[in-house]
Chains A and B, each alone.
Chain A
Amino acid sequence: AQTVTQSQPEMSVQEAETVTLSCTYDTSENNYYLFWYKQPPSRQMILVIRQEAYKQQNATENRFSVNFQKAAKSFSLKISDSQLGDTAMYFCAFINQAGTALIFGKGTTLSVSS
Chain B
Amino acid sequence: NAGVTQTPKFQVLKTGQSMTLQCAQDMNHEYMSWYRQDPGMGLRLIHYSVGAGITDQGEVPNGYNVSRSTTEDFPLRLLSAAPSQTSVYFCASSQDRRYDSPLHFGNGTRLTVT
Binding site for B on A (CB under 8 A): 4, 9, 31-33, 35, 42-45, 47, 50, 52, 91, 95-100, 102, 104-107
Contact = CB atoms under 8 A, between A and B. Distances in A.
Contacts of A32: 99
B109 to A, nearest CB: 10
Contacts, number: 50
A6 to B, nearest CB: 8
A102 B97 CA distance: 10
Interface residues of B, number: 24
B105 A99 contact: no
A86 to B, nearest CB: 19
B6 to A, nearest CB: 10
Interface in B8-48: 31, 33, 35, 40-45
A96 B99 CA distance: 6
A102 B44 CA distance: 9
